[in-house]
Amino acid sequence: MSHPVIRRAWYVPMRARPAEESHRVSTPLELLFDLCFVVAVAQAAAGLDHGFIENHVGSAILAYLMTFFAIWWAWMNFTWFASAYDTDDVPYRLLVLVQIAGSLVIAAGVPRVFADNDFTVIVIGYVIMRLATVSQWLRAAAADPPRRRTATRYAVGVAAVQVFWVALLLVPSSWVLAGFAVGVLLELSVPIVAERPTPTTYHPHHIAERYGLFTVIVLGESVTAATLAFQSAMDRSGHSATIIGMAAAAVITMFCLWWVYFDHESVPEINAARAAFLWGYGHYLLFAAAAAVGAGLVVAVAYEEQETHGISYVVSAAATTVPVTIFLLVITALRAQPGRPRIIPVATSIAAAVVLADTFVPAPLYLTAGVLVALVAVLTAATRTRAGASPDAPPAADS
């Protein structure tokens, strides 16, 4: 029996998709985009752990925050646009291909930032991506009259800020940091200004899923980086109990961070503009922290193997405990919703404080893993008990 051939129109007018559309899920093209983008995340994390190992901590953190903003912002621009205007026709797919190519150029430029503070290649990658992004917004402006002003504002704003980034390459190096800060403010203001006439019809459930999937990918990249570090250490020094124990603590830590992120009772309330901006912008810190945890684990292995160059024990511990603390605090803020058990934010905040304190005591990786296990136990008891007490809870299945 032959299978029917699915025929798609090669061109579809780019009208807004309804925000209440049923069965709206991430597409294979969006997943491919994410997987290509994680290459840049891996490069940024590698630059961060290398900076710690070489005792260039301050410059490494600054370069990491700057490059990660570029990575996250490019990903976020694509994600929110696709939620409202993904037509999946041939022009759309080809323009996404251009954006993927731009993301790979950005990834290629990340090491230059850490080595020489050179943003040239990253800016070139942005130019490539934004040629496609502006084209997509112009398509939306032409085909979606109710939101024409919004789409036009996006197209003009994105193009104008990109001109600023290109111009920043021409200024003296002493101006770059201040210019970068100005560029960040301009970037963040474009959606705020553009959404005022008529908001885009992003799909709240789709956005929550897209952010969740990228969180999984970033955590997965951290696991990969840490695994390679542990494997390399065991190849050099044999299967030492210390390295194996650290590896087990690292796996538990990453799994617990995943659990904390996804242990919620409903999708986040991001229908209102303020909540949407908080969710969208707040994930910069969460994604950056998740990737930095992997870098911190690499630093912990290097310190144990005496391969670091002059960093103190506290600094080596902070490379892991600080990003874990930031992750917990940010997810607490993002998941703050009326009606949630008060014990959840309280427990998460206490866990964050204890993890930060682990920086100054022996065996911080083990203690951090233990704190996160306790937090997961508390969150599980709180959410499951509340679900069981709810009159709307489904009956337990018979054994």
- Summarised one tens digit per residue, pLDDT across range 245-302 is 999 999 999 999 999 998 765 556 777 778 888 899 999 999 999 999 999 999 999 9
Average pLDDT over residues 142-148: 94
Residue 186: pLDDT above 50?
yes
Residue 6: pLDDT above 90?
no
Give 54's DSSP letter: T
Q: 217 — phi, psi (to 5°)? A: -65, -45
- Tell me what percent of the residues of the chain surpass a pLDDT of 70: 90
Alpha-carbon distance of 158 to 134, in angstroms, equals 7
Residue 42: pLDDT above 90?
yes
Q: Which residues contact 201 (CB under 8 A, 6 or more apart)?
A: 16, 17, 18, 19, 84, 147
Give 392's DSSP letter: T
Residue 233: pLDDT above 90?
no
- Per domain, the residue ranges of the chain are 28-194, 204-388
Q: What is the pLDDT of residue 230?
A: 86
Helix 273-304 with 176-194: angle, nearest 10 deg: 140
The neighbour count for residue 384, using CB atoms within 10 Å, is: 13
Instruction: Kindly tell me the burial class for residue 8, based on how many C-beta atoms sit within 10 Å of its own C-beta (0-12, 13-18, 19 or more).
Output: exposed
More confident residue, 235 or 286: 286
Buried b (16+ CB within 10 A) or exposed e, 226-241: beebbebbeeeeeeee
Please check whether residue 221 is in contact with residue 38, taking contact to mean a CB–CB distance below 8 angstroms: yes
Per-residue pLDDT band for 385 (boundaries 50, 70, 90) equals: low
- Tell me what percent of the residues of the chain surpass a pLDDT of 90: 70
Closest-CA residue to 372 (of 316, 313, 325, 315): 325
The neighbour count for residue 70, using CB atoms within 10 Å, is: 25
Residue 125: pLDDT above 60?
yes
Residue 394: pLDDT above 50?
no
Q: What is the pLDDT of residue 338?
A: 64
Average pLDDT over residues 351-375: 95
Tokens of 368: 């951090």
Average pLDDT over residues 303-315: 90
Mean pLDDT of the residues in the chain: 89
**Residue 263 identity (one-letter amino acid):** D
Alpha-carbon distance of 224 to 193, in angstroms, equals 39
Q: What is the pLDDT of residue 395?
A: 43
Tokens of 350: 């206490």
Please state the pTM of the whole predicted model: 0.90
Alpha-carbon distance of 272 to 292, in angstroms, equals 30
